Amino acid sequence: MALTINEKCINCGACEPECPVNAISEGDDIYIIDPDVCVECEGYNDEPQCRVVCPVHEEDDPCIVKL
């Protein structure tokens, strides 16, 4: 179970401080999620908080998706 950030990322950084396990970091062009650390906020929140705060989150074509 893990999420990933795709090329739609606008590199705003809103997601990074929301991750309870520090799985998100700034990459060269977009933010990245470490799949070995990501728990999709399970045990912390009802839904992944990175997806909640992402300004590019569109229901039919989101920026942050399941890996």
> What is the span of the domain harbouring residue 20?
1-67
When divided into structural domains, the chain yields a total of 1
pLDDT tens digits, 14-35: 999 999 999 999 999 999 999 9
As a whole number of angstroms, the distance between CA 21 and CA 29 comes to: 22
Side chain identity, residue 50: C
Average pLDDT over residues 50-54: 95
Q: What CATH number did the domain enclosing 46 receive?
A: 3.30.70.20
Q: What pLDDT shows up at residue 61?
A: 85
Q: What pLDDT shows up at residue 58?
A: 75
